Structure 1
């Protein structure tokens, strides 16, 4: 990791397992660099946890990325081609299972308890979050190991060779990258 200030990119995509801190980091980057923050979950989820149709989701993402400088967070494969073809930098939050699980449990408990509105009126609740087949906890359990293997392979594909990939394995690495980030 560089110690002096570094150029961070103009169009940054953040990927990583559910609960790794993608949105939190994206908000910090957007504020620090004075760029727009695009949260893919907000474009993907309709009211009552209904998934937007792929063509609607893709159009929303295309419109959201129309600016010259942005940071986007999320892992949706159905829009990866749109985002990654325009991005110049990818941040891969590749944290340990236990760190991510702890963050996800705390976040999910807080959101469920406080009934925080997420996107389009949707809220997490205890039953959905912990005791259903659609549980965000189960999703993390299913995808954490897969993501750690999938993303490095995707980064090696020739169509993504234009991307500057920053592989962040520990929160301290992420904090250092953010401290040194300039535009």
Structure 2
């Protein structure tokens, strides 16, 4: 029924399913096509029926994994800024973004284009805002060069989409380090 509250065990099951799917994607280096739903259900401690009640298709589950990854990525901005200098916070956030990008690549490959476009168009502004916050804080502290905005950094991060999976672990962190060095004031 619309507006009805979910039971706490149903909410917990949903969270465990998403966490298990995320773990499976990590083990397969983001290869969403290799995501086995029966393994996700087993790892989450639920039956396949429970998994399918929450996520009727693989696409639904992958979309939720993407949303959860984005939520976690955006939520790390404030704690990072509280614990680190702005430039260090940005570097740590970008390292986390590399893992997000790996999951995103797998999700993009597994979700049909119209569904991916809907999912991305409704969420991408949150990523832009998080990055803008980090850059603004760094400029204010004199650690990040003036004249660079979130769109510039996102364009630079687009290089990650061209990294072959076999070279990801070596190249992705190096690309991020070059970007951070280029952002220094």
TM-score (norm 1): 0.29
Larger of the two Rg values belongs to structure: 2
Larger helix fraction of residues: 2
Higher RCO (CA-CA < 8 Å; seq separation 6+): 1
TM-score (norm 2): 0.29
